[in-house]
C-alpha cells in the first residue's frame, strides 16, 4: 500500500477516535449570519460564485468561509461566530451556501454520500469518534490531509492534519453533501 494511502487511512482512524473523545453539544438552535470576531464580516457568498452549473456548492468558496472563522472560540451549543461547537460550525458554514445540515453530529453523519478516505476533497464533512465508537465530532476537509473544526471547550476554530495520530485513530468516515 502506498505510504500516502496508509498515512491517510491512519489519519482518518485517528480523527475518528478524537471526535468521540471530545464533546460536541447540540442545542437545536439554527445558525444565523453574524459578524466574525473582531468586527470583520464573515464572507457572504454571492449566489453566482457559490454554485456550479450543476447547482453544487463551490467547495473552495465554502472552505474559504470556514477558514475565515479561524480563531472563533468554542462555545458549547454555539451556532454563530460568537462561538461554535463542532456541529454548529459545520451547520453555520454550509448554511451560508443554502445547505441545511441537521444540528447534531450523528444526524450530519447520515447526510450526503459516503466518501472513501483516499477520495476526501475540500468541503467534505469528516467525522470522528472522540467518545465511544460512533461519530461524535465533525469538521470540514480543506484538502486530503487538512481539516478545520471547532475542537473543544479549551480551543478555537482551527486547522488540523488528519495524519496526526490523534485524529487518524479516531476517524470514522467522510460525507459529501455538495
Indicate which residues carry an active-site annotation: 86, 137, 149
Phi, psi of 57 (to 5 degrees): -70, 145
C-alpha cell of residue 27: 442545542
d(CA 122, CA 59): 6
Cα radius of gyration rounded to whole Å, the chain: 15
CB 92 within 8 A of CB 31: yes
C-alpha cell of residue 113: 454520500
Residues 50, 70, 31, 166: is their CA dihedral positive or negative? positive
Amino acid at each position: 500500500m502506498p505510504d500516502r494511502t496508509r498515512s491517510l487511512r491512519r489519519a482518518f482512524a485517528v480523527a475518528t477516535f478524537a471526535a468521540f473523545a471530545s464533546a460536541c453539544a447540540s442545542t437545536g438552535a439554527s445558525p444565523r449570519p453574524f459578524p466574525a470576531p473582531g468586527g470583520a464580516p464573515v464572507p457572504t457568498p454571492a449566489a453566482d460564485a457559490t454554485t456550479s452549473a450543476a447547482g453544487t456548492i463551490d467547495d473552495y468558496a465554502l472552505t474559504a468561509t470556514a477558514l475565515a472563522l479561524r480563531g472563533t472560540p468554542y462555545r458549547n451549543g454555539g451556532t454563530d461566530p460568537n462561538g461554535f461547537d463542532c456541529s454548529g460550525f459545520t451547520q453555520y458554514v454550509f448554511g451560508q451556501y443554502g445547505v441545511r445540515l441537521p444540528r447534531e453530529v450523528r444526524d450530519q453523519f447520515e447526510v450526503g454520500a459516503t466518501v472513501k478516505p483516499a477520495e476526501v476533497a475540500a468541503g467534505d464533512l469528516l467525522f470522528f469518534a472522540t467518545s465511544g465508537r460512533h461519530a461524535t465530532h465533525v469538521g470540514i476537509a480543506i484538502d486530503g490531509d487538512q481539516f478545520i473544526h471547532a475542537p473543544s471547550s479549551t480551543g478555537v476554530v482551527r486547522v488540523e492534519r488528519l495524519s496526526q495520530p490523534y485524529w487518524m485513530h479516531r476517524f470514522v468516515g467522510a460525507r459529501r453533501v455538495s
